[in-house]
Structure 1
């Protein structure tokens, strides 16, 4: 158990990554394990979409449209470049199912759980990962660019790549777990 605690304790977000990325084949076993998150009703209300190469440019163009910008606007170029910060983006999609017993929020929580588990697994495999979202995540142009169904919502993207040699160790303020874990009274 201490190995697991240490692995999770080492996890950090990497805002900058190198161009080295895992292959589709390398992702498959990680996705299989990430699918083990708690899933009330075993609905599997999620899916993941790999964005590589030109797909990242098309996402940037969708973001520009979603922001109502034109190519002449200097902000458009900055926005269009955002998906190019990593060679691999993994879109996290809440793929909601009809259910009388599992609420939509709970299905979204499962999708988020899969994404977090996948980020932990990628990190443990030596990859740099950062979950990004933002105000354009749930806009119509971005939704349509991903080919999402009406019952689906984009939760964000895992930006994945190699860990730069000059990456600094993650700094996260420690917590007192007693402040966050209480007993039911």
Structure 2
């Protein structure tokens, strides 16, 4: 009975045995260290999972950005081609007479005194006005409107030769080239 009463009290007669309260403290420290390590591993796992999700999202965004860029390039090319197809013929016809008169000055052999220029009536009128502004051409060129001339074709002739300007053919070739250069779905992306 005396042992049971005193069993709750610490024993002072054990020599060389570590005190139970010191080993308990070490156990608590070890338990705390293990718990901290477990929490760190959980945080690392959670962080790695989140980073994996972020990387997947970034990869998905990169793919989507590439698709958007490819679509924007395709739409831009199609828009520019459509604008050029409509605008280029109108602008070119407006300045065609000026361009022809500029090139005639360089192409006509020196010493020619009579040059006949045949074109459809509207273009012939524009050519006449452009040629009248040129000192070297105004004196030697005779512009003849010709109803049989089709489209924007200009025939220039002189004694030893001549030139043919087929603007409509050139324009169709340019627009055909422009259409063939449009990027297709497989080319961009």
- Over alpha carbons, which structure has the higher Rg? 2
Higher relative CO (Cα under 8 Å, sequence separation at least 6) belongs to: 1
Calculate the TM-score normalised by the size of structure 1. 0.20
Larger strand share, 1 or 2: 1
Calculate the TM-score normalised by the size of structure 2. 0.20
Larger helix share, 1 or 2: 2
